[in-house]
A and B are shown apart, each in its own frame.
Chain A
Amino acid sequence: MFYRQSGVHHTRYQTARRLWPLPTDQRIVWLLLALAVAAPFYMSDLYLTSYMLPWLIWSAAALSLTLLMGIAGQLHFGFAAVMAIGAYTSIHLTRAGVPFELALIGAGLMSAVIGCIFGAAALRVKGLYLVMATLAMQYLVDWTIINVPAISGGAQATLSTPSVSLLFVPLRGDTALYYGALLWAVIVTLLVLNIKRTSFGRALVAVRDKDFAAAVIGVNPFKYKLLAFFTSSFLGGVSGAVLAFCYYQAVTPEQFGFNVSIQLVAMVLVGGLGSVIGAFLGAGFVLLVPIILTNVVAYAAVAGWLTVSSNLLAHIPLMVYGGLIIGFILFEPLGLAKIYDNIRKYFLVWPFRHTQS
């Protein structure tokens, strides 16, 4: 009764290739989905809007990046710029009176087209040079947004989002915003999960492992690198728009600076490159751990256990965050997804460890 694989005998390819072949996994997924849907009923507004909501949206963004970095193997240090393009496009479209659903798609397409220009560098170089090229493009996009008043609304300006409705439900109030974010996170999750088992996903993996070798077996690296940048930038742009509408409810250029790009890469790496559950875990970890640790230290300082200057307290998140990146790369390069996988494998066959998992 404890053996999770008991009674699972696949006799057809369709069942063996399901997303979650084991009943246990399916039950866990349904349980998590039910918990997420029911969250507004058991969570306080504070937790809902300042923890759950950003976590879901950042996870969606990290998923879009993991599609590019983990599955297609193209390094990207300018993903915040892609999200900024999506956010600004969606705001300008909705202000012009375009329905929100169409504005989201427009935002995605705009990001995808500009993201493909980022990808143009990937056709020429890879590895370290690609990192540098995307980093330079991040600066260029930032500068363009700040210095073109038609986009940013003038220097130092904040554009607040107009009130919109998604699928005939007005996006107003914490619950509606939360469901909007949840819907997008679920869509991206299902999409990335399914991309991994299509011919498109396998082509991306081939290009990742060795692009020359992929060309030899008939996968066109040129086409698939561009497609990877297109898809991932599309998702990233819509995530940026959802972030602007559901969480910030305003956009400024600083929300999408270079540090945010690094943060996204950190989420992907801490979670585990190319892993879907890793994107969720990594986003949660990178967002939450610095906050929690700062709170713990602040609490200890208030209680008088240690003396910490307010200056040091302000820099603890930065140190923790840098330390997290270093620690994960040194000690668990495969990230939180690998830790989860180890635990899952252990319980999969528990208590019969001698069986094959």
Chain B
Amino acid sequence: MDFSYFFELLINGALTGLMYSLVALGIVLIYKSAGVPNLAQGAMVMISAYVIWMFTSMVGLPVYVSIAVAVVVMFLFGLLAERLLLRKMVGQPIIMIVMLTLGLEIFLRGLGPGFLGAAPKQISLGIDMMPIIVGDVFINREYLIGGAIAVTMIALSLLFFRTRLGTKLRAVSDDHVSSWSVGISVERAIGISWGIAGVSAVAAGALWGSVQGVDWTLSMLLFPAVAVVILGGLDSIYGVLVGGLIVGILGSVIPGYVDPLVGGGTRDVVTSLIILLTIIFRPHGMFGREDIERV
């Protein structure tokens, strides 16, 4: 067995997985505070990549300035989405909320490419395209930086949940009514969590946009992100890290050996199997909190 091939798949898979966790982080942040599964996160990543592209090539700002602008835009977008859409859905059955976020996903998928052009676009973050060579192993430099940023973001969100605001959000995620009774504004907390999810979408959008170009396929990142979230547990930030690594590694190593045999496309199969097996054997994921249902 060729070990350098294996290590290359392993390392690049792990780094891709960390970049998946960047997308997944937004889903967890919202689920943790609002209990809403945000299936529009893929489209939010796509929209933030479009916003960054718009400010770099149409307005002509430097790329890092436009990322900062995109952070503001997406934070406001998150606040708006909560205010206009999700606030009315309190107490509705889960199917309604799932379909609402899916409807938002479909809408944004038409909005971005419709107004800004469907042809793939480039975002250049100024990262050297040459791979780093360690021994016999080629490591993609963009993935390496992406992985580092993902770890930083996850660490930041862990720290964030220890601040005063983060404590409020944790209280809201535990129980809405009790949070109200101690004077926490639940609506504002949920709105802020949507805003932060928008900010994490900007990080994901910038990195994935520079890796694979900006077009509607960015919203397909939702599927691996959902696998990460299900595997790690819907309300666990550690789970995002570990789940991302596992989904990335399995989604790189298994196709690396199986694809030549069956003719491609195994990555989606691995992702689907991860979702399915997790749900059948441990529905709340590795680190998630188990729901106890009472009649």
> Chain A interface (Cβ within 8 Å of chain B)?
69, 75, 120-121, 124-125, 127-129, 131-133, 135-137, 139-140, 143, 146-147, 155, 210, 212-213, 216, 262, 265-266, 269, 273, 311-312, 314-326, 329-330, 333
Contact = CB atoms under 8 A, between A and B. Distances in A.
7 shortest A-B CB distances, which residue pairs? A322-B107, A318-B110, A325-B103, A315-B114, A322-B106, A319-B110, A136-B272
A133 B279 contact: yes
Nearest to B37: A128
B100 A326 contact: yes
B285 to A, nearest CB: 10
A317 B99 contact: no
A131 B283 CA distance: 12
Interface string B281-295: 001000000000101
A137 B108 CA distance: 25
B276 A137 contact: yes
Contacts of A265: 99
Interface in B251-284: 262-263, 265, 268-269, 271-273, 275-276, 279-280, 283
Contact of A329 (B100, B105, B262): B100
Nearest to A326: B103
B114 A319 contact: yes
B232 to A, nearest CB: 13
A266 B230 CA distance: 24
Contacts, number: 138
A334 to B, nearest CB: 11
A132 B279 contact: yes
Contacts of A210: 295
A125 B94 CA distance: 13
A75 B95 contact: yes
A311 B98 contact: no
A155 B262 CA distance: 12
Nearest to A137: B276
A317 B85 contact: no
Nearest to B104: A326
B110 A317 contact: yes
A137 to B, nearest CB: 7
Contacts of B268: 139, 143
Interface of B: 37, 85, 88-89, 92, 94-96, 98-100, 102-111, 113-115, 117-118, 223, 226, 230, 234, 262-263, 265, 268-269, 271-273, 275-276, 279-280, 283, 293, 295
A341 B100 CA distance: 24
Of the candidates A146, A317, A318, the one having the most CB atoms from chain B within 10 angstroms of its own CB is: A318
A89 B113 CA distance: 37
A333 B89 CA distance: 10
B263 A147 contact: yes
Given A124-B280, A330-B100, A137 B111 contact: no
Nearest to B88: A330
A240 to B, nearest CB: 21
A265 B108 CA distance: 19
B106 A318 contact: yes
23 contacts: A129-B230, A131-B94, A131-B98, A132-B226, A136-B279, A137-B276, A139-B223, A139-B272, A140-B276, A266-B99, A273-B95, A317-B110, A319-B114, A320-B110, A322-B106, A322-B109, A325-B99, A325-B102, A326-B104, A329-B99, A330-B85, A330-B100, A333-B92
A216 to B, nearest CB: 8
A121 B108 contact: no
A75 B98 CA distance: 10
Contacts of B37: 128
Contacts of A269: 95-96, 99
Nearest to B269: A143
Contact of A128 (B94, B111, B115, B263): B94
B99 to A, nearest CB: 6
A226 to B, nearest CB: 15
Contact of A143 (B118, B226, B265, B279): B265
Contacts of A212: 293, 295
Given A315-B113, A325-B99, A330-B85, A129 B107 contact: no
A210 B262 CA distance: 44
A278 to B, nearest CB: 15
A38 B100 CA distance: 39
A322 B262 contact: no
B263 A140 contact: no
Nearest to A144: B269
Of the candidates A131, A262, A322, the one having the most CB atoms from chain B within 10 angstroms of its own CB is: A322
Nearest to B280: A124
B264 to A, nearest CB: 8
A34 to B, nearest CB: 36
Of the candidates B263, B265, B269, B279, the one having the most CB atoms from chain A within 10 angstroms of its own CB is: B279
Of the candidates B109, B265, B268, B272, the one having the most CB atoms from chain A within 10 angstroms of its own CB is: B272
A317 B114 CA distance: 10
Given A325-B102, A326-B104, 16 more contacts: A75-B98, A127-B94, A131-B94, A132-B226, A132-B275, A136-B273, A139-B272, A140-B272, A143-B269, A143-B272, A147-B265, A213-B295, A269-B95, A319-B111, A325-B107, A326-B85
